[in-house]
């Protein structure tokens, strides 16, 4: 049985093989959050476009602004002002943050280090050449590539694109991820379940996880635990870029997902991973499309999505697979776990002291969505650990959606 790291690497290896040119679309900078760039973005001019003051103060010739020395202030420069005159020797100009520093001046002295006496400005300390001035072109040259193809667009990247006037961006089309739940007991979320039925919550969590991962969910509803119904709906799902099923991958008599996928020509790379929850997770390629059979217990579905499906969506978006958001924390209470499988336990991490502390939450097993809704992370217990003492350093998988 593969470890979760091995299984994840297998997904990355197999999905990575199909790295061809991907369909792209033009997206407004206002709507492009989370998209992956499919073009380079270049500067339209030098940045900064002029020698820019980074402080409110006085533009000076640094040699003249000696401690105790006085310079006559002959005017002011506001941000946005056109600056063409040279600073005359023996004078200074009041200047605001973001303004252009005039030629002649080679430094800005912060207002805090000056004293004003009428027209005269006295300096409390020596000025250094270049201080508080970002010279034209220092951040980027003209026509310099500042964002490369394959970059995921977060708020800083979007601001950078906006800064250079790239308001329409060619991006990779978001991979469409079909979501199919399975189970005779499952009804759609807007239906009233019978006494022994349950609502299809997995499709809701999966759709949210697909969105967060940068994909576009295509929710296909629920298939009964019958080969014919599964086959029909899987066929529909294979029209999309990837297919994620929930349920029907355990050892039960009616767990038929693997059979149905096999009948449609799937090649499997794993059908069990040494983790709990989530052990029966399945990954294969079917008719050229990545397919994932995730166990149906809601917390298992959520964990296995993060471990195995999220990196596939990265790759299908034309980006690198992002690393798992694992951090170290101090265990707040001793715990015992059965060894043999790596455990992902609902937990809360808090940043109160110098090091983060994590505490596992009480839960009723992998059907307990309520426990997970109180968690902001999973405490990762390695497969060879039976007891962890209070104060030990443990690994924590962050829930990116709530942290
Ligand atoms: P399975 O993996 O099909 O054996 O299902 C495991 C458990 O998860 C069972 O208790 C199912 O009722 C539950 N389950 C399966 N599919 C869903 C779903 N779509 N939404 C919520 N719970 C589910
Ligand atoms: Mg089932």
Ligand 1 pocket, 198 CB below 6 A? yes
pLDDT tens-digit series, residues 98-123: 999 999 999 999 999 999 999 999 99
- How many whole angstroms separate alpha carbon 173 and alpha carbon 175? 6
| C-alpha 255 – ligand 2 centre gap (Å) | 6
Which of 80, 84, 86 shows the shortest CA–CA distance to 99? Answer: 80
- Residue 235: half-sphere exposure toward Cβ, Cα within 13 Å: 8
Distance of CA 277 to the CA centre of its chain: 24
Residue 158 CB contacts under 8 Å (≥ 6 apart), including other chains: 29, 32, 33
Does the C-beta of 186 come closer than 6 Å to ligand 1?
A: yes
197 lines ligand 1 (CB under 6 A): no
Its pTM stands at: 0.94
Q: Is the peptide bond before 277 cis (omega within 30 degrees of 0)?
A: yes
| CA 199 to ligand 1 center in whole angstroms | 9
Q: Is 205 in the pocket of ligand 1 (CB under 6 A)?
A: no
Residue 260, H or E segment? helix 257-263
CA distance 89 to 390: 69
The SS3 of residue 136 is coil
Res 18: pLDDT: 82
Q: Which of 335, 345, 325 is nearest to 385 (CA)?
A: 335
pLDDT digits (tens, 9 = 90+) for 194-225: 999 999 999 999 999 999 999 999 999 999 99
- Cβ of residue 248 lying under 6 Å from some atom of ligand 1: yes
Distance CA 320, CA 37 (A): 12
Residue positions counted in the chain: 403
Cα(182) to ligand 2 centroid in Å equals 6
Residue ID of nearest Cα to ligand 1 atom 15: 296
| 145 alpha carbon, distance to own chain's centre | 22
Find all residues with CB under 8 Å of 95, minimum gap 6, and list them. 53, 56, 57, 58, 59, 76, 77, 101, 108
Is there a contact between 171 and 32 (Cβ–Cβ < 8 Å)?
yes
Closest CA to 83 of 57, 51, 115: 51
The DSSP bridge pattern shows strands 114-117 and 120-123 to be antiparallel
| Residue minimizing CA distance to atom 23 of ligand 1 | 296
Which atom of ligand 1 is the closest one to the Cα of 249? 2
Name the average pLDDT for the chain.
97
The pick from 180, 246, 295, 296 for probing ligand 1's pocket by mutation, whose C-beta has the most ligand atoms within 8 angstroms, reads: 296
Helices first, then strands: H and E counts in the chain: 8, 28
Pocket test for ligand 1, best of 297, 304, 366 (most atoms within 8 A of CB): 297
For ligand 1, whether the C-beta of 201 sits within 6 Å is yes
State the Cα–Cα distance between residues 254 and 182, nearest whole angstrom.
10
Q: Parallel, antiparallel, or unpaired: how do β-strands 282-286 and 267-270 relate?
A: antiparallel
Dihedral (CA of 115, 121, 122, 123) sign? positive
Q: What is the pLDDT of residue 292?
A: 98
For residue 233, report the distance from its CA to the centre of ligand 1, in Å: 17
Angstrom CA distances, 233 to 2, 163, 180, 350, 376, stand at: 29, 46, 8, 43, 34
| DSSP-H helix ranges across 18-108 | none
Q: Which atom, in ligand 1's list, is nearest to the CA of 181? A: 19
Q: Which residues of the chain have pLDDT under 50?
A: none
**Which numbered atom of ligand 1 lies nearest the CA of 182?**
16
């Amino acid at each position: 049985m593969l470890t979760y790291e091995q299984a994840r690497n297998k997904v990355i290896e197999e999905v990575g093989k199909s790295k061809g040119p991907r369909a792209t679309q033009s997206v407004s900078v206002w709507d492009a959050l989370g998209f992956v760039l499919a073009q380079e973005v270049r500067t339209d001019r030098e940045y900064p476009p002029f020698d820019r003051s980074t402080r409110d103060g006085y533009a000076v010739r640094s040699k003249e602004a000696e401690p105790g020395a006085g310079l006559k202030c002959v005017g002011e420069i506001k941000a946005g002002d056109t600056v063409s005159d040279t600073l005359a020797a023996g004078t200074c100009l009041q200047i605001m943050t973001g303004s252009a520093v005039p030629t002649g001046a080679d430094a800005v002295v912060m207002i805090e280090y000056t004293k004003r006496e009428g027209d005269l400005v006295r300096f409390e300390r020596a000025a250094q050449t270049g201080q508080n001035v970002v010279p034209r072109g220092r951040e980027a040259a003209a026509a310099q590539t500042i964002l490369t193809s394959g970059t995921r667009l977060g708020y800083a990247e979007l601001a950078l694109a906006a800064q250079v006037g790239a308001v329409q961006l060619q991006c990779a089309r978001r991979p469409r991820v079909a979501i199919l739940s399975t189970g005779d007991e499952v009804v759609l979320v807007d239906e009233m379940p019978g006494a022994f039925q349950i609502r299809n919550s997995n499709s809701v969590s999966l759709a949210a996880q697909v969105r967060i991962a940068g994909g576009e969910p295509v929710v296909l509803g629920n298939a009964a635990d019958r080969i014919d119904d599964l086959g029909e709906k899987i066929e529909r799902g294979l029209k999309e870029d990837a297919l994620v099923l929930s349920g029907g991958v355990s050892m039960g008599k009616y767990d038929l997902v693997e059979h149905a996928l096999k009948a449609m020509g799937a090649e499997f790379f794993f059908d069990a991973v040494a983790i709990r929850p989530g052990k029966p997770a399945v990954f294969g390629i079917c008719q050229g499309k990545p397919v994932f059979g995730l166990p149906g217990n809601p917390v298992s579905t959520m964990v296995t999505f993060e471990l195995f499906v999220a990196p596939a969506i990265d790759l299908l978006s034309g980006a690198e697979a992002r690393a798992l958001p694992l951090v170290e924390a101090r265990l707040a209470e001793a715990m015992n776990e059965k060894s043999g499988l790596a455990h992902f336990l609902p937990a809360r991490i808090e940043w109160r002291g110098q090091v983060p502390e994590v505490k596992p939450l009480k839960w009723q097993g992998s059907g307990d969505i309520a426990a997970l809704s109180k968690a902001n992370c999973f405490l990762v217990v390695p497969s060879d650990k039976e007891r962890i003492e209070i104060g030990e350093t443990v690994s924590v998988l962050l829930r990116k959606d709530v942290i």
